[in-house]
Structures are given as C-alpha cells and as structure tokens.
Amino acid sequence: MRGLAVVRPPAAFLCDTTVPVTVWVSPPLTPVATRPTMCGTTTPHDDVTRTDATKSAGDDVTRRVEAMMLTKTARRKAAPAGAAAVLALALTACAGAGGGGNDDSAAGDGGPVELTLATVNNPQMKDMEELKSAFEEDHPDITVNFIQMEENDLRDAVTKDVATDGGQYDIVTVGSYEVPIWAENGWLTDLTGDLESDAGYDVDDLFGPVKDALTVDGSLYAVPFYGESSMLMYNKEILDEAGITMPEHPTWQEVADIAREVDSDDVDGICLRGKPGWGEVFAPLTTVVQTFGGTWFDEDWNAQVDSPEFTEAVQFYVDLVGDAGEADPVSTGFTECLNNVSQGRSAMWVDATVAAGLLEDPESSQVAGKMGYAHAPVVETEESGWLWSWNLAIPETTQNRDAAVEFVKWATSKEYHQLVGTELGWSRVPPGARTSTYEIPEYEEAAAAFAPITRDIMLAVNPEQPGVAPQPWTGIQYVTIPEFQDLGNQVSQDLADVFAGRSELDPVLDRAQDRAQQAGDAQK
C-alpha cells in the first residue's frame, strides 16, 4: 500500500544542500546495489548496501524519477502522479555543474585532449579498446580512456550523467531505445553534418534498419557500432547425438521439447536470460510475449500485462528455464549464457545474433564450427527476432566535441572493420552496422555460418508491429517511452522471485499491471 513519506534525495543528486521532499513511495523493492554519481565529479563505482527502509524507498523513488525525467514531455505528464515531479526538479538543479557545452577548447588550441568513453563491457567493445592505439597513433594529441561497465550499471551511470549535465563522458554507448528519447531532449549531439561532410566515411553505407532507428527528424544522433537481431543458436553435435534435426523456423514448443530431451546433468538443454533489467531478461522475454499474442500496451495505452497471452508467455518461459535451463537464472544474462554455450555447457540459446561471431571464434570458444543457427522461435507470428544496436553517441555536455567526432568516425568506419578482421579475426568484425561488411570476402568466408541468416532476420523483423496486435510505438523488445526503463526494471526484480521459487507469477503480474497502467496513463 502506498503512503506519504518524507525522504531526502540521495546525496549523489544534490549539488549543495539537501532539501526534504514529500513524495509518493511504493513498498521498497529487493535492495540492489547503487552507484551514485556526484554532479560534475567522478565517483568510484563502489557498491552501496542499502539496509535502511527509508534509503530503500528513496532508491525506489530515484529509479522512478530517472525514467520520468528522460524527456520534457514525460516530466509534464508525470506531474499528476504526485510530488515525485518535485524531486525531478531537484535533479535538474545540478544542470551545468559539470557541463557547459561542447566548445572543444582543448582541441581547438592544439593541446592534448583526453576523451572519456563509457561503454557496455561486451566483447566487441573490449576489442575496440584493444585497437584504440591505432587511432591514437594517427591522432597523437588525443588519448581515449575507456570506462567499461555491466549493461545495467552503464545505463544507470550514463542516464544520470546526461540528465544532470554531469559532463563526465565525451562518448557513450547507448542503445536504439535511448537515442530518440535523448535526442528529443537535446542531450545528444547531432552528427549529421560531421558524417555527411566526410566523403570517405560513407554514411549511406550504414545498415538501413539500424540507421533509421537512430534518426530523429532527419538527423542522425548516434552511429551504430554493431547491430543485431535475435536467433536460436544450437550445438549441432549435441542435437546430432540425440538424433534431432532443428528446423530453420522452429516454434517455441519445438524448442522447449528439444531442450527437455537433451537436458542432462552435464549439459543444460537451453540457456535463457533471467537477470533483472529491462534490457536483460525482458529483451528476450518481450519477444516471447509478442509471438504468444501478448503486448505491454494496446493501441490506446491500456496496460495488457495481466492478459492471458502475456501470462501464458511468461509462465512458458519460466517453466522452460526451470525444467531445462541454467541453475541460477537470476544471475544469468547475455555474458553468462555466452560462457555456458561457448564452453559446451548449454545445448541451445535464444539471444542476440552478435553472439554468433563470438561462438565461432576458435581463440575463445570451444564450440567453434559446431554451432547451428535458426530463426528465433515463434508461436503466432512469422518472426520473433528483435532489432537492436549498440551505438556511439556524443553528449551535448562534452568539452571535446571535435576530438570525440573523430574517434566516433574511426570506430564505426569501413577501415575499422578491416582492422578488426586483420588483427583479431574476421568473425569478430562488428555485424549489422555497415552493408559493405557483408561484401568483404574474408568476412563472408569466416561468417558463412551466421552472417546470411543474421542479415535476413534483421531485414525481416517489423519494429512497427512485431506482435499480433498493433502498438502505438516503434520498437520490438522495448516500449519507446521513458517510463519503460523503470517499469521493466521493477517488474524484472519481482520476476526474479518467480525464477527463484519465492513467488507465484500471478501476484507479480498483478503488480506489474498497475505499474504499467501508470506508465500508459502518462501517454494519454
């Protein structure tokens, strides 16, 4: 039951003084680690244990406000929800503490420039850091410092920084979910002129569906580092030993039956994400909901989370993981499943197509050459793959705009793809970003097992209507509203109790329905 409470906003969001603010507080979620960021300063990402109920409630409010403050429109619509809007104003009071525009003063006078790049810690980004010395050799006055974080931590840190004009980062990796919202709010640099004026960059070569998702009112606010859909990846040796042939377009029931058949004490039948986070468990799970006929919202922004189709899809997913999945789903995300599959500990995996290049890398994978690939499983739809990209963007608060643009162009160029191929291996070239990549003979040979199907799926999926029912937003594994980040995170925290056997599904979805309806009402 909600009640009024007086809490102090976390010190990370206050520049000078702490002002008590009256806000609506929900019962606190399971305590999670927080990584505070001071206005205009860089704070170590140390875990903070929250044991006090008031602090937990305050963190809950902070998560709500972070989502609501993503756009000016959202802040206006959020006002009737209660005095949480007042806290949003407290957050924006930090504006300018660390920012101040992108005048590129250091680069302009020819002095040395240090760029700070905040990135998700995916393997492709680690490759970028490994190869950055090639850029620095060609640009001796520019040094690029990488800060790599787990996906949930990255979203938390970067969102707080750009929302408060913190100015900590010159370049950030952001997803296709954030780009249109942040661009509308004026938080990202328009890169259109910089890219189109450089004939050698060839902006028209960027992969069409991915580029479109990063374009707002005709302007490009981020550049794809890699693009992806999702598909089924399976160990051919394990299935062959069981006498099983995988269809090219399997159904979810077929996949579930196979997973339960090959599951053993030594090998899990399947690996599926269960780690909390809207971009973790709800990335694959939302596509399952859609192909089962469910959706987060109908055309009028009425929540549909407790509908029979949504419930059936989530129960199917939870049961499959429990029967034939990994032992600890709540701790399992993309990276953990990648490790399991690459070491032969899981027979199948439904996840990002970008994983295929990693599975086929003999330097890091024990199953290279042993994997097969199929379209993501379906029920009521023809396709159920998602459409996503990790992109490089430049916050408006950077003081080093020109240098940041140079690095972004380098890391997303045709030449960079050639560099990855020759230095690290052609299967590790970032996929789904440039059309010309699929015409490189060495890449075609190294990626023959997965590149054609990846490209076909990315061109076949429909972000306008990925499920059975029409939807009032564009996006597949996410809802393109600022409130979805917080909504997905909260519901996934509750869902963790279902995976762990501490809760039944129905009460979790009942609470999720109420939360979703609040988000839907903000769009009406």
Per-residue pLDDT reduced to its tens digit, 127-179: 999 999 999 999 999 999 999 999 989 999 999 999 999 999 999 999 999 99
Is the pLDDT reported for residue 67 higher than 70? no
Gap between the Cα atoms of 372 and 235, Å rounded: 6
Please give the pLDDT value at position 111.
85
Q: Band of the pLDDT at 411, cuts 50, 70, 90?
A: very high
- pLDDT tier, 454 (very low <50, low <70, confident <90, very high otherwise): very high
Alpha helices by DSSP H, listed for 164-272, are 178-184, 192-196, 208-213, 236-241, 252-262
Tell me, what's the pLDDT at 72? 38
At residue 37, does pLDDT exceed 90?
no
The confidence band for 110, taking pLDDT boundaries of 50, 70 and 90, is low
Amino acid identity, residue 296?
W
The domain locations on the chain are 3-92, 105-227+388-448, 230-384+462-521
Contact residues for 466 (Cβ-Cβ < 8 A; gap 6+): 287, 290, 381, 383, 384, 386, 476
pLDDT of residue 322: 98
Distance from C-alpha of 468 to C-alpha of 350, rounded to nearest angstrom = 20
Under CATH, what is the fold of the domain 230-384+462-521?
A: D-Maltodextrin-Binding Protein; domain 2 (3.40.190)
pLDDT band at residue 38, thresholds of 50, 70 and 90? Answer: very low
Name the packing angle between helices 123-138 and 414-424 (round to 10°): 110
Q: With bands split at pLDDT 50, 70 and 90, how would you rate the model's confidence at 409?
A: very high
For residues 141 and 107, give the distance between their C-alpha atoms in angstroms, rounded to a whole number.
Answer: 8
What pLDDT score was predicted for residue 109? 55
Q: Of all residues in the chain, what percent carry a pLDDT higher than 70?
A: 79
The residue count for the chain: 524
Burial of 444 (0-12, 13-18, 19+ CB in 10 A): middle
Average pLDDT, the chain: 84
Residues 6 or more apart whose Cβ sits within 8 Å of residue 143 = 112, 113, 114, 115, 136
Report how far residue 472's alpha carbon sits from residue 123's, in angstroms, rounded to the nearest whole number.
34
Q: Which of 201, 155, 107, 156 is nearest to 398 (CA)?
A: 107
Give residue 102's identity as a one-letter amino acid code.
N
Q: How far apart are CA 337 and CA 120, in angstroms?
A: 17
pLDDT tens, 505-519? 999 999 999 999 999
pLDDT top residue among 108 and 19: 108
pLDDT of residue 69: 44
CA atoms within a 13 Å half-sphere pointing along the CA-CB vector of 125: 25
- The arithmetic mean of pLDDT across residues 298-305, rounded, is 98
- Per CATH, 105-227+388-448 and 230-384+462-521 having the same topology is answered yes
Integer Cα distance of 353 and 438 in angstroms: 15
State the Cα–Cα distance between residues 274 and 23, nearest whole angstrom: 31
Helix (H) or strand (E) holding 390: strand 388-393
pLDDT at residue 90 greater than cutoff 70? no
User: Residue 48: which pLDDT band, with cuts at 50, 70 and 90?
Assistant: very low
Backbone torsion region of residue 200, taken as left when φ is above 0, otherwise alpha when ψ lies between -120 and 50, otherwise beta: alpha
Mean pLDDT of all residues in 66-83: 39
- Mean pLDDT lowest among 29-43, 90-104, 358-372, 508-522: 29-43
Residue 24: φ, ψ to 5°: -85, 130
Can you say how many angstroms the Cα of residue 152 is from the centroid of all Cα atoms in its chain? Answer: 8
Q: How many CB atoms lie within 10 A of CB 465?
A: 14
Report whether 33 contacts 493 (CB < 8 A). no
Closest CA to 284 of 207, 345, 355: 355
Which numeric CATH code is attached to 105-227+388-448?
3.40.190.10
Residues contacting residue 112 through CB under 8 Å, at least 6 positions apart? 106, 141, 142, 143
Token pair belonging to 319: 């049961």
What is the pLDDT, as a whole number, of residue 315?
Answer: 99
Mean pLDDT computed over 322-341: 97
**pLDDT of 185 over the 90 cut:** yes
Q: How far apart, in whole angstroms, are the C-alpha atoms of residue 500 and residue 15?
A: 40
42-to-70, 95, 168, 484 alpha-carbon distances in Å: 21, 15, 7, 27
DSSP reduced 3-state for 220: strand
Give Cβ neighbours of residue 73 (< 8 Å, ≥ 6 apart): 184
Give, rounded to a whole angstrom, the gap between the first and last alpha carbons of the chain. Answer: 25
